[in-house]
Amino acid sequence: MAASDMRDPDAPPVHLQPLSLLLVFAGGAFGTLARFGAEEWAATRVPGWPWATWAVNIVGSLILGALMAGLAAAGPDTGVRQRIRLLAGVGFCGGLTTYSAFAGEVVARIDSGDLAIAIVYAALTIVACVAAAAAGHRLGVVWGARRRGSPS
């Protein structure tokens, strides 16, 4: 019987367990603080373009891609791997990245008459985030293969 099949049938689902909620909350708090710090730093140094949002979304995509692939390569989503996923993936990366700020920045540029800038920003963000997630995934696969001692 697989470890994932040995879960107590009377236990609440993972997303309702107090430890899971605490891990997501803690990771989310740190991710949100990191995003806030990036926004504060960029606002005074590179005004006029949403560099902080762009950067945190790309970095978050890279981290999440690497994390999910690495954890999947390490074994089933149980125990420590599940807690790492909840803390770092759902919590930290979820708090760090921001689709709402990205969408708001695109709409703000459209509203100010900068349609071309809005389109370029949206396209660059999507392409960069997907590329970062793919690169992160590849890093996670390589890491997982090295942990298992097999070629990637």
CB-based contacts of 77: which residues, under 8 Å, 6+ apart? 4, 71, 85
Q: How do residues 74-118 score in pLDDT, each as one tens digit?
A: 888 889 999 999 999 999 999 999 999 999 999 999 999 999 999
Residue 150 CA to residue 152 CA, distance in Å, equals 6
Task: Report the binding-site residues for Na(+).
Answer: 94, 97
Where are the domains positioned within the chain? 14-148
Q: Model's pTM, two decimal places? A: 0.86
Binding residues: 94, 97
For residue range 58-85, list pLDDT tens digits in order: 999 999 999 999 999 988 888 999 999 9
